[in-house]
């Protein structure tokens, strides 16, 4: 199996923060980008469609003449379970089904560290977080990301799709907290990570960490390296600024679990709302 090293790539969530970074960054690596988002793109020159992921006809149009998909579109934080499942699970299944219909094999999925966010740092072998730890969500958002990974695995095993699930840390222009000194994913590394995920040969189903080469990082880089992801940025370059702000109780708690503040009880939300929002 060869990877996708050129051609057209659909980026869902192309108006979001990571999406805009990929729209800008992927062309330099030989890809033509098509966007899909419920929000019209800020760049009117982009080949883009606007609408909802659960619109199968729209997805078929979006995936026509496309060689691979990077699926980012979803609600990026905590919400009631119905909303999370609609956004991450039904939305992802819609994309995977459309990829099958259009004969597209390579699909990169945006998972999150919150799929394993309740993992305590203490007690990890060698203090390293590996991608094979028990799925241990810290929120309904994390539960939905666990299910997204499950769907990716199912579509790889059952239908032969080539799926890379990215457990993304903290995607930010620059690290803003002590936790980010370990969890930061820089914009440049996000592009490198996606390029590696698209172009790596021999992918069936892979989970990789989406973090930069942070001096204070503790998440295993090996699965990413195997795909060819060589992170270049290090949050340490911003450590003086971050550490100039006095440490808070939240900072201290943030270091105890993978998911940082998502683990806190304040992230609890009402168990039910109606009606659920359609996915981004
Ligand atoms: C995520 O998955 C969220 O989408 C983002 O809002 C951040 O909270 C990030 O994780 C993080 O853990 O820093």
**Among 79, 114, 139, 175, which is best to mutate for testing ligand 1, by the most ligand atoms less than 8 A from CB?**
114
Question: Tokens standing for 185?
Answer: 């994913």
Instruction: Determine if ligand 1 sits within 6 Å of the CB of residue 112.
Output: yes
In 3-state terms, what secondary structure has residue 277? coil
Give the pLDDT confidence score for residue 205 in this predicted structure: 98
> Omega into 71 within 30° of 0, i.e. cis?
no
Instruction: Determine if ligand 1 sits within 6 Å of the CB of residue 111.
Output: no
**Residue 121: what are its φ and ψ, rounded to 5°?**
-65, -45
CA 236 to chain centre: 23
In 3-state terms, what secondary structure has residue 215? coil
Instruction: Report the nearest atom of ligand 1 relative to the CA of 260.
Output: 12
Q: How far apart are CA 84 and CA 76, in angstroms?
A: 9
Q: How far apart are CA 65 and CA 47, in angstroms?
A: 12
Look at strands 170-171 and 184-185 and give their pairing: parallel
Residues in the chain, how many? 280
Alpha-helical segments (H) within the chain: 17-25, 56-63, 81-84, 91-102, 140-159, 180-183, 187-199, 222-227, 239-243, 249-254
- The tens place of each residue's pLDDT in the chain, 280 residues long, gives 899 999 999 999 999 999 999 999 999 999 999 999 999 988 778 999 999 999 999 999 999 999 999 999 999 999 999 999 999 999 999 999 999 999 999 999 999 999 999 999 998 999 999 999 999 999 999 999 999 999 999 999 999 999 999 999 999 999 999 999 999 999 999 999 999 999 999 999 999 999 999 999 999 999 999 999 999 999 999 999 999 999 999 999 999 999 999 998 677 776 654 444 555 5
- The whole-model pTM stands at 0.95
Give the pLDDT confidence score for residue 41 in this predicted structure: 87
Give the pLDDT confidence score for residue 275 in this predicted structure: 46
Residues carrying an active site annotation: 141
């Amino acid at each position: 199996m060869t990877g996708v090293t050129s051609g057209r790539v659909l980026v869902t969530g192309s108006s979001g923060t990571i999406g805009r970074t990929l729209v800008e960054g992927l062309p330099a690596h030989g890809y033509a980008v098509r966007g899909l988002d419920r929000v019209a793109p800020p760049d009117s020159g982009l080949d883009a469609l606007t609408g909802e992921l659960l619109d199968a006809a729209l997805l078929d149009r979006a995936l026509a003449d496309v060689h691979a998909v990077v699926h980012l579109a979803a609600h990026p934080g905590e919400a009631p379970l119905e909303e999370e499942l609609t956004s991450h699970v039904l939305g992802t299944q819609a994309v995977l089904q459309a990829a099958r219909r259009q004969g597209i094999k390579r699909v990169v999925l945006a998972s999150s560290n919150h799929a394993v966010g309740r993992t305590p740092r203490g007690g990890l072998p060698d203090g390293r977080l590996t991608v094979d730890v028990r799925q241990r969500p810290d929120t309904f958002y994390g539960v939905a990301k666990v299910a997204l990974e499950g769907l990716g695995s199912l579509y790889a095993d059952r239908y032969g799709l080539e799926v890379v699930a990215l457990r993304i840390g903290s995607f930010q222009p620059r690290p803003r907290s002590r936790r980010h000194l370990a969890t930061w994913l820089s914009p440049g590394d996000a592009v490198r990570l996606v390029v590696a995920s698209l172009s790596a040969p021999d992918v069936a189903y892979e989970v990789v960490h989406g973090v930069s080469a942070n001096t204070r990082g503790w998440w295993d880089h090996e699965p990413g390296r195997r795909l060819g992801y060589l992170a270049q940025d290090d949050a340490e370059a911003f450590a003086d600024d971050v550490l100039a702000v006095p440490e808070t109780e939240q900072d201290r708690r943030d270091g105890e679990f993978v998911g940082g503040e998502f683990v806190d009880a304040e992230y609890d939300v009402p168990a039910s709302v109606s009606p659920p929002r359609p996915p981004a």
